[in-house]
Chains A and B, each alone.
Chain A
Amino acid sequence: MQQERALLVPTHGGFPDVTEYRIVSRGYTHDVPGDAAWSTPLRAGRHVTLTSLGAGANASVLLFGPDRLDRLNVPDTLKAQLSACIRPPMVLMSDRGLALASVVASTLDWHDCLTGFVREPLLVTELAKHGLGEHDLHGSVNFFSRVTPAGDERGTLTWSPGHGSEGDSVTLRTELDLLLVLSTSPHPLAPAGYEPAGVRVEVAHAPHVDAEDASVLFRPESARALEMSRRSVA
């Protein structure tokens, strides 16, 4: 694990009477081992890259908006963008119709979001650290995992072994200040005895978003959610 590189910078040019400071983050890298849980606040305008540290990693992610009440809404995210999985350049939307994050890059074209997560005590403990609990659980994105619908009458689902490999990565751009809660437990459909790999988290400043951004251009619904996030901090 690398140390976070942060500087304390006086906000008023270093006058002797300055008492207010802000932290300028230059980003950081943190490795979450397999079968662990972790959470972090994230400022808007960051790139968060998750990288699989071995074959078969799974990163179940929950997202909360700035007030910790608003949260990721997988059904709204899917129906607004007519998808049954998460892939670039989709926008991850909240209950309140805000863009929480955009999926800006991925080496995999499918991240599961239809089959929930293992509700193990470490994950619930991470929520408790932020004053959250069972009431706040919601549909997760299971990065690096794939569960394929057969397209039959029942909509039969099959977990796809070997979907993710070491080095696979996905990058989210935070559109608002978020709380990210992450579990590296095995995907709930993985066979018993499965040894999950760890996941590297890299946080960096995202480049400026312009009108040519792939998520803005993806669908009118994606653009509207991004616009509503802009208005929410206007």
Chain B
Amino acid sequence: MTDSLTAATDVDLVVQPGDGALIRVPAGGRLRIVDTEGNQAVDTLFYDADDIANRYSAFDTIREQGAVYLSTGSRLLSGRLDELAVITSDTCGRHDTVGGACAQESNAIRYGERTRHQHACRQTFLAYGAPAGIGQRELGHNINFFMNVPVDARGSLRFDDGISGPGRYVEITATRDVLALVSNCPQLNNPCNGWNPTPVQLLGRWT
């Protein structure tokens, strides 16, 4: 497995759980997300950098690849069916794009009112997206890198313990200039972060 991104980089950023990032990845640039301690969900949205209305669409991506999970070779499509990026390397194995991002409001529904004021990914999306004009209307359904949400033939879905591990990574290559809006998930109430959210590293190389 090539590991060229650990050396020269245009971005080398550690993102703590509950924090996020907005990164412009130029066409041809590679962005690697490293699950430094393992079992950490990284909620991510992609936008065409020149037109944020042309944004990642989870269900168009799922339909066009004929499969629920994302892995190496998955083309990350917009709602216009433009290819925004491709997953070009993946040492985890598969990633979720059905489970969406946690929000204060959905936490209150899933875990009760006591969790309403815990930090949540959609807070991070709104905070880091604002400078690019990404507001509530612009939040589509996201990717959860390293998260394990099996669906089965009976139509059930569950949140399982992760299949990632320390140092595993996923790498995307941008097909056009894109904005990657990242939230390192602070969720404490389900096994998506192994009950213990940990930092991730973002490594970018543009040439």
- Chain A positions within 8 Å of B, measured between CB atoms, are 69, 73-76, 78-80, 82-85, 87, 93, 95-98, 109-110, 113-116, 119, 133-140, 148-151, 153-158, 188-189, 221, 224-225, 228
Contact = CB atoms under 8 A, between A and B. Distances in A.
A73 to B, nearest CB: 7
A155 B69 contact: yes
Interface residues of B, number: 42
A87 B58 contact: no
A157 B57 contact: no
A134 B68 CA distance: 24
B67 interface: yes
| Interface of A: prevailing SS | loop
Given A75-B141, A115-B62, A139-B141, A157 B67 contact: yes
Nearest to B68: A155
Interface of B: 53, 57-60, 62-63, 66-69, 71, 79-80, 94, 98-101, 103, 105-106, 108-110, 112, 136-141, 149-153, 155-159
B58 to A, nearest CB: 7
A83 to B, nearest CB: 6
A211 B112 CA distance: 19
Nearest to B142: A75
A110 B59 CA distance: 17
Contacts of B157: 78-79, 82-84
Contact of A157 (B62, B103, B109): B62
A89 B146 CA distance: 31
Nearest to A74: B141
A153 B94 contact: yes
A149 B59 contact: no
A97 B53 contact: no
A76 B140 contact: no
A75 B63 contact: no
B43 to A, nearest CB: 11
A114 B62 CA distance: 7
B99 A79 contact: yes
A149 B152 contact: yes
Nearest to B74: A154
A91 B124 CA distance: 27
